[in-house]
Amino acid sequence: MSYCVNPGCPHPQNPPDSIVQCQACGARLLLRDRYQVIQPLGQGGFGATFLAKDISLPGQPSCVVKQLRPSSSSPRILEMARELFKREAKTLGQLGDHPQVPRLLDYFEIEQQFYLVQEYVKGSTLKQEVKQQGRLNESDVKNFLLEILPVVQYIHSQGVIHRDIKPANIIRRVQDNHLVLIDFGAVKDQVSQTILLDPADQSANTKFSVGTFSFAPPEQMAMRPIYASDIYALGMTCLYLLTAKSPKDLDFDGITGEIVWQHHVQLSPSFSRILDKMLKPMVGYRFQSATDVIRALKGQFEDPSLVDGLATQFNGDSPIVEELTIFNDEGSSWPSPQNKINQGSKPPRSGRTSFTPNGNTGIGPRVSRTLAESGRTLGTFASSNNSAGSKPPKFTPKWDGNSVRSAYFKGKRDFADCELSGLQLQKAQLAGGNFYQAKLVKTNLQAADLSGANLGHARLIGANLRDANLTEAYCSTANFEGADFRGADLTGAYLSKANLRGANLSGANLTNATVTEEQLAMAKTNWMTVKPDGKRGFGF
């Protein structure tokens, strides 16, 4: 079927062989001579989205076409919508290299109509999943946070505030149950904070700029969003996942401005304190960054009221989750009915998914996640359909340096449990890659970009990491024995329990890295080594 995107078309559905002109209104059907729209997916404040296929490419891959379609015909509102539409395209272009953010494929204008084309990945929103499967338990919501927080952390690092985080804007991809944050139409660029609102039309504020009223904090509704505004919205999203209630259906304290939610769900005291701090209406009392929330979930936040009893109960038996992706509204179910809890009940311990460190991903509905002491995203998972104690089938392709570079260039990020020892990957672009339990013994990664990569439990014995970029990399329990880190940037790297025996850290930058003096005492350092406190030292 071909679908007409003309908003005024009386009969937009056309036969499959009609791809040039709409039979009902005569409008052009084939956009830019390549995109054949198939069906509508939804409509938001100023855009309608459609499923389409790119007939110019082999296999005619599916994609999502978003059309500018403001609900008001006011010239001022139309101008505002166009500006926000351009902003979304710019933001997607800026952030699209991240595997957990929608990838922008095209952006164009036809007869004063603006279009965005995004990669299409079949999935369902968390809002749909809660409606279908019921509310989540505490463990699942913690796992959700530990999966989505690094995405928010990345967005903020690029100077962008999302401003519309909510369950309907978080998609779980069908084929691997990963999450992605979508809909960047309400983003705010922290660098250029242009206020587009016409004071005479306050409705435009909510419809086009601010996001969704019930999930937004007070300062955002006052047109003063900050990074912590997204933290509040994440907290509200957690409430929805825990209670299956919209924030507008929850009570609220007229004096303090706080949402009254505690009696709707039974949580551990530690997680209840974290959620309460995420939801503080006064910015000064709220978590200021995604990093702070991650640290709190790991029991490392400096606030004594949060640290007490917070060792997040993640252990080897706990379930795991990871990565993310793109856009649609049908597909997977998560979590399974067994993971639902009634008020006052404890989260079930049966039917939990085990972690598989290979490239296989679990499509089963009972996907959850532990983060073995980390807020970084971790690899892939086993299907919940696997019987207890059984192992999923394993596929281990033969890799060489060129095939790894090519696969990453084409969008692959999951190299968990892969045999990559001895490969020549100098200057390779591998940012955000998942190398959980991968074997990289004596691999040449000199000057490679591994920023934000997951190297948890990986074996990098004798690896060449000179001048490599490992900023914010997750390296818990990785084996770096004898590795060469001379001149490497390890700013913010998570090195808890990593083996640094004989590793050469001369000239390495360890500012804000999570690493102990005992670990560093086993490594080689010199006066050029930058310690975690940012100071240079001749030893630790």
Catalytic residues: 164
Q: List, in order, residues 6 or more apart from 465 with CB less than 8 Å away.
A: 445, 446, 448, 480, 483, 484, 485, 488
The dihedrals phi and psi of 118, each to the nearest 5 degrees, come to: -120, 155
Q: Name the 3-class secondary structure at 333.
A: coil
Task: Tell me the three state secondary structure of residue 210.
Answer: helix
Question: What phi, psi does 509 have (nearest 5°)?
Answer: -105, 110
**Which DSSP category does 414 fall into?**
B
CA distances from 359 to 95, 274, 382, 419 (A): 25, 33, 10, 11
Question: Left if phi > 0, otherwise alpha if psi is -120 to 50, otherwise beta: which for 37?
Answer: beta
Q: Residue written as tokens 């929850």?
A: 250
Among 54, 72, 58, 56, which residue's Cα sits nearest to residue 115? 54
* Cβ-proximal residues to 45 (8 Å cutoff; 6+ apart), any chain: 70, 71, 185, 207, 208
| Residue 77 main-chain phi, psi, to 5 deg | -70, -40
**CA–CA gap between residue 26 and residue 68 (Å, rounded):** 20
What does the alpha-carbon distance between residue 63 and residue 107 come to, in Å, rounded to a whole number? 13
Which DSSP string do the residues of 358-370 spell out, in sequence order? SS----SS-----
> Alpha-carbon distance 115 to 120, whole Å?
15
Q: Sign of torsion, CA 23 26 27 33?
A: positive
251, 256, 258, 261: CA torsion to nearest 10: -50
Dist CA 396 CA 415 (whole Å)? 10
Sort 344 into a burial class: Cβ within 10 Å, 0-12 / 13-18 / 19+: exposed
CA distance 144 to 138: 10
CB-hemisphere CA count at 13 Å for 165?
A: 30
